[in-house]
Amino acid sequence: MSDAPVSISTHAGIRTITVQRPEKLNALNRQTLETLDAAFAEAAQAADVRVVVLTGAGSKAFVAGADISEMNTLTPVQGRDFSLVGQRLMRRIERLNKPVIAMINGFALGGGMELAMACHLRIAADSAKLGQPEINLGLVPGFGGTQRLLRLGGRAAALELCLLGAPISAERALQLGLVNRVVAATELEAQTTQLAEQLANAAPLALRGILDAINVGGECGIEEGLEYESAQFGLVFSTQDMREGTSAFLERRKPEFKNH
């Protein structure tokens, strides 16, 4: 068995990236963060990749958090640097030019929840538990948890999860808008694959434009965001995929997108 903290496979345009530390409940140490960062950077450039699925090895955890044994001895300067390494990864995922689906197969706590929130879509097993338990360790979320919780679930949800530190069920996460879908654990892989295949067959350049419009425009004021959306809308008129998609609609047939 490989000692690499991350495994990667690709099939039919779907790149699966798996955190491979089941004996540590897939906890994020610095090596794992940096390996994930490199894996997502490569996925962004890979011509054969249209969508990325992120998950954790084993049946217990997606990612149960950052590696406490590594953090225990860090100085304040090292702690801030560790936070920045994690935030760089989360930002790369969030800004990836291809859709990223978090397949949450178990515990998604602390850094694991922050990792899931950086993904574009989140599908969770009904047995999954999510939370930001850093308060119980005398810590503050450091990989973007406070900010993404605020944006995804709102102020009340962010304060509840971060101040109380108690994990919540997948169903509660769905109610708060923190996950998109909850499915039976036995159906998680099949349902995630179905969703990934749907995205892999969609128009790639339109997907990129939508991701840009939401991620970049969403950080602007409404006027700037609308202007950015119009720019993305106009750009797709230069693509053959747009001509193919609209022609297929008019001709009542299935489009064949070519990523150009």
70 is catalytic: no
Question: What sign has the CA pseudo-torsion 229, 233, 239, 240?
Answer: positive
Beta strand 168-169 with 129-131: parallel, antiparallel or unpaired?
antiparallel
CA 194 → CA 106, 108, 200, distances in Å? 20, 22, 10
160 is catalytic: no
Q: How far apart are CA 191 and CA 125, in angstroms?
A: 10
Catalytic residue among 23, 42, 94, 134: 134
The answer to whether 208 and 170 have CB atoms below 8 angstroms apart is no
Number of neighbouring beta carbons within 10 Å of residue 189: 17
Q: Helices in 154-221 by DSSP H: which ranges?
A: 155-164, 170-175, 188-200, 204-217
Catalytic residue among 114, 160, 197, 224: 114
Catalytic (active-site) positions: 114, 134
